[in-house]
Structures are given as structure tokens and as C-alpha cells.
Amino acid sequence: MELWVTEYQTPAIGFSCKSTETLRVEQTPFQHLSVINTEQFGKMLLLDGMVMTTEKDEFVYHEMISLVACNSHPQPENVLIIGGGDGGTLREVVRHPAVKNGTLVEIDERVVQASRDFFPSLACAFEDTKSQVLIEDGIKYVKEHKNCYDIVIVDSTDPVGPAVELFSKSFYENVFEVLKDDGMLVVQSDSPYYHPNVVQMAYNGIAGIFPLTKLYLANIPTYPSGLWSFTIGSKKYDPEKLMHEYDDGCRYYTRNLHRAAFNLPALVSKIIANGE
């Protein structure tokens, strides 16, 4: 019998993958977690029915959420990742030569465990000497620390369930405080096609606090609509300008693509202009 797993990306569209194996299904204290094997994308991690990452296309998201900021900050020594319990973002951060410490703050220990059990190419980051993994609430963590990070990356789920607050103004304010005077924030800001309201919410929330706010795009086959946005809030440096040209071993990110990613289709420029 064929088994298909569907993420309902909106109430009107589903994204289905043929599944060859169910590896884990559990309700954690925070969310529903599943790991399946798929014919097209290899192993896939889902949280609350939403695709978080797959073996075959994880590199796009993880390179793009990490390297744009790391390459545009002159000294990205201390990097904080909120969420990102699978370790993919941490892996990209700690392999950057200018980074000295990568701290991951994940609320759900079961996500870290699922990665350790099924995604060795992501979980390898946990063992890196530059890495520190904390099982804590990231919202609380940023309230309790001040002025100590060069970059903060919010590798969250969509704004449903435990991640709702990670898209709020008060959270962005606390991130502003946890960053040093020349720090940068990067968030995943959803799909311009299917969730323009989320793109706007993230962009406006960040633009209301940070002196410089820019949005960039990447093509991610397993995420809703395939076109995904990231938003950077910066206190000082222009995220479009490269201070480092590190793209060794990358499969999506290149130094030229870094600049290209900020060139937006008209419909995306309109989404962020309208909200202002």
C-alpha cells in the first residue's frame, strides 16, 4: 500500500510526499513531532504537521539563514540561535571561520533528540567545540541576557503554537537588547505567496526597532510555495555588503547569490512597502 503524507500549507492547498517509512511519531510537551522517510527528499522532520527539514533540501535553508549575516558582519564571533533544534543552522554557523561560539537555545529537547537519532548530518553540529546547546525557552533567554551577541538567528516554526511570540514586537525588542551595538538579527519570515501577512508582520516588527531592515529570498522546494523569505534587522552594517566571502562547500549560497537574494520580485517589494 502506498502511504502519502500531506502538509496543508493553507486551508486550500496540500503538499504531499510518498512516504516509505514512519520513524517516529510523538506528542512532545510542546508540539506534535514526526520523522518519516520519503522517496523524494529522504528523511523528513515535521512539527505540528509542518515540514521543518528534509535530508535532500535542508542545505538551502540552513546556508541561507546563516551565511548572509555571518558574511556581512565584520566580526560574527558570538552567534545565538533561537529554535533550530535540528542543528542545521548551528552546523552552518560554527563552520564559518570568523565565528568563535554558536549557542543554540531550543525549547523542545525532543527535537534535538530526533535529530541525534535520525539526522546525523545535522546533529554533527552539537559535537563541535564551538557549539553550546541549551534546552531553554528562547524568549526567556533573551530577556535575561544583554549586549552579548553579534548575531541572533531565529530559526522558528511558522507563527502557530510555541512560535507565535517569536514574531512579536516585544520579542524583537528583547533581541535588540541582547545584541551588541553593531549586532544583527535574522529571522525566517515565511512565504510571500501564501503568507504575505506573516512576511509583513516580521518585516514591520523588525523595521520598527532596527535602523536597517532588509528582506531576502531563497528557493526551498519543501516549504510552502517554494519561495521563502528571511528578514534581517541590523544596527549598523548593511547586510547586502560582504565583509567575508566565505562560501566553501556551499550548495546554494554563493557570494554572488548573496547580493542577488536581496533583489526582490515586484510583488514582494510591494508586500513590505504596503505594510509600512
**Binding residue (CB under 6 A) for ligand AG3 from 188, 200, 213, 231:** 188
**Binding residue (CB under 6 A) for ligand AG3 from 57, 150, 155, 247:** 155
**Binding residue (CB under 6 A) for ligand AG3 from 76, 88, 233, 239:** 88
- Joined together, the cell numbers standing for residue 260 give 542577488
Q: What is the dihedral of CA 54, 202, 264, 262, to 10 degrees?
A: -80
Q: Minimum distance from CB of 14 to ligand AG3 (Å)? A: 12
Q: DSSP for the chain?
A: --EEEEEEEETTEEEEEEEEEEEEEEE-SSSEEEEEEETTTEEEEEETTEEEEETTTHHHHHHHHHHHHHHHSS---EEEEEE-TTSHHHHHHHTSTT--EEEEEES-HHHHHHHHHH-HHHHGGGGSTTEEEEES-HHHHHHH--S-EEEEEEE---SSGGGGGGGSHHHHHHHHHHEEEEEEEEEE---TTT-HHHHHHHHHHHHTTSSEEEEEEEE-TTSTTSEEEEEEEESSS-TTS-S----TT-SS--HHHHHHTTS--HHHHHHHHHT-
Q: Does 89 bind ligand AG3 (CB under 6 A)?
A: yes
Q: Minimum distance from CB of 17 to ligand AG3 (Å)? A: 12
Question: Which of the residues are catalytic?
Answer: 155
- x/- site string to ligand AG3, residues 37 to 66, per CB under 6 A? -------------xxxx-------x-----
Residues 3-22 close enough to bind ligand AG3 by CB under 6 A: 7
Q: What angle do CA 228, 53, 216 make, to 5 degrees?
A: 20
Q: Does 94 bind ligand AG3 (CB under 6 A)?
A: no
Site size for ligand AG3, by CB under 6 A?
16
Is 128 or 177 the residue whose CB approaches ligand AG3 more closely? 128
Is 146 or 155 the residue whose CB approaches ligand AG3 more closely? 155
Q: Minimum distance from CB of 83 to ligand AG3 (Å)? A: 7
Q: Minimum distance from CB of 68 to ligand AG3 (Å)? A: 15
Q: Closest residue to ligand AG3, Cβ-based?
A: 50
Is 17 or 272 the residue whose CB approaches ligand AG3 more closely? 17
Is 99 or 235 the residue whose CB approaches ligand AG3 more closely? 99
Residues that bind ligand AG3 (CB under 6 A): 7, 50-53, 61, 84, 86, 88-89, 155, 157-158, 188, 223-224
